[in-house]
């Protein structure tokens, strides 16, 4: 997979040299390049922003250095003079981090991990002139994407999170692909609690079933814990779960937690959920 990140703070992305993503770059699994947007400016001051048309606070990123940068990066992807939109070429995906974008989820990460070329355009100030996104749609599939319902100072932090979430799903990046299967959000539920040695630590024992060697019992316990934890911390996820994925054991656990399971989905009853507070006691 090829990934290009364009930013006015390329040094912010230095963390992408570390850990598994850094190794994937060195191993050639990810061709990741970080570009300085100011490299596409033409004035002495390397200006990338201007005042907002119509008035208001802050500054807006000017269209021109962005257009040059995006055209070059898309064109460089396939070496064609017409850029990536040329006949037969798969369009690169332009991800524009924005608190006004669709929310980035694990499902998005899986979707993007199947792409050949991702380009991330890090906004700063009040964001990028909207016409850049319209214009870029001629060459790219454009996806404004939010990390969550809060506002950051720039797109770089969001890009670090998204590149890591997508990159680790690219085959070969995570050594043991099985570790991706049971993770939080991979099946619509949160992951079960995990433990390591020693079996007894500061008077706290690991759940006995995990020492039993009974793989079926361990799998059942883990599934039950997934359901309990999700009901407690993220009931919204349970409400979105397809009832068809629930077996008899799941349904019994949910009933004990006060949830009803109908053909149209899962609904919390009056006694459902302890809330997120007092978590340690609840667990």
Ligand X SMILES: C[S@@+](CC[C@H](N)C(=O)[O-])C[C@H]1O[C@@H](n2cnc3c(N)ncnc32)[C@H](O)[C@@H]1O
Q: Which residues are annotated as a binding site for S-adenosyl-L-methionine?
A: 123, 147-152
Exactly one of 43, 55, 150, 271 binds ligand X (CB under 6 A); which one? 150
CA-to-CA separations, 2 to 21, 77, 119, in angstroms, rounded: 13, 8, 8
Stretch that binds ligand X, among 83-91, 119-127, 164-172, 194-202 (CB under 6 A): 119-127
214: Cβ contacts below 8 Å, ≥ 6 apart: none
- Nearer Cβ to ligand X, position 104 or 259? 104
Place of tokens 């850049």: 132
Closest approach of Cβ 41 to ligand X, in Å?
18
Exactly one of 123, 169, 225, 253 binds ligand X (CB under 6 A); which one? 123
Exactly one of 71, 113, 152, 209 binds ligand X (CB under 6 A); which one? 152
- With CB under 6 A, what is the number of residues at the site for ligand X? 19
- 65 binding ligand X? (CB under 6 A): no
Query: Phi-psi category of 258—alpha, beta or left, where left has phi over 0 and alpha has psi -120 to 50?
Result: left
Exactly one of 22, 52, 63, 99 binds ligand X (CB under 6 A); which one? 99
Phi (first) and psi of residue 178, to 5 degrees: -65, -25
- 41 binding ligand X? (CB under 6 A): no
- 143 binding ligand X? (CB under 6 A): no
176 vs 243: CA distance, rounded Å: 30
- 57 binding ligand X? (CB under 6 A): no
H/E element holding 187? Answer: none
Q: Going by DSSP bridges, is the β-strand pair 265-268/204-205 parallel, antiparallel, or unpaired?
A: unpaired
Stretch that binds ligand X, among 14-22, 91-99, 173-181, 214-222 (CB under 6 A): 91-99
Closest approach of Cβ 183 to ligand X, in Å?
22
- 165 binding ligand X? (CB under 6 A): no
86 vs 80: CA distance, rounded Å: 7
Place of tokens 């993220």: 234
- 262 binding ligand X? (CB under 6 A): no
- 265 binding ligand X? (CB under 6 A): no
70: Cβ contacts below 8 Å, ≥ 6 apart: 6, 94, 119, 121, 132, 136, 139, 140
- 75 binding ligand X? (CB under 6 A): no
Closest CA to 8 of 51, 58, 47, 53: 47
Would you tell me which residues interact with ligand X (CB under 6 A)? 97-100, 122-124, 126-127, 146-148, 150-155, 158
């Amino acid at each position: 997979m090829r990934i290009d990140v364009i930013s006015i703070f390329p040094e912010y992305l230095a963390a992408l040299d570390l850990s598994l993503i850094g190794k994937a770059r060195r191993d050639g699994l990810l061709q990741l390049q970080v570009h300085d947007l100011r490299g596409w400016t033409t004035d002495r001051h390397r200006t990338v922003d201007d005042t907002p048309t119509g008035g208001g606070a802050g500054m807006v990123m000017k269209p021109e250095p962005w257009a040059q940068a995006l055209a070059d990066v898309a064109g460089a992807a396939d070496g064609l003079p017409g850029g990536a939109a040329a006949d037969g070429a798969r369009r690169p995906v332009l991800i524009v981090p924005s608190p006004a974008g669709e929310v980035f989820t694990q499902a998005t990460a899986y979707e993007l991990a199947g792409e050949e070329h991702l380009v991330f355009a890090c906004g700063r100030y009040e964001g990028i002139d909207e016409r850049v996104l319209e214009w870029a749609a001629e060459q790219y599939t454009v996806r404004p994407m939010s990390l969550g319902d809060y506002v950051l100072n720039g797109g770089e932090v969001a890009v670090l999170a998204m590149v890591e979430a997508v990159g680790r799903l690219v085959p070969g990046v995570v050594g043991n692909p099985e570790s991706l299967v049971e993770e939080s959000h991979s099946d619509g539920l949160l992951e079960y609690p995990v433990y390591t040695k020693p079996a007894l630590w500061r008077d706290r024992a690991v759940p006995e079933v995990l020492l039993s060697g009974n793989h079926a019992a361990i799998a059942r316990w883990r599934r039950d814990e997934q359901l309990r934890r999700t009901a407690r911390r993220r009931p919204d996820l349970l409400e979105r779960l397809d009832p068809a994925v629930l077996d008899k054991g799941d349904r019994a656990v949910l009933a004990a937690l006060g949830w009803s399971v109908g053909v149209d989905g899962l609904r919390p009853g009056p006694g459902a959920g302890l809330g997120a507070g007092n978590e340690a006691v609840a667990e």
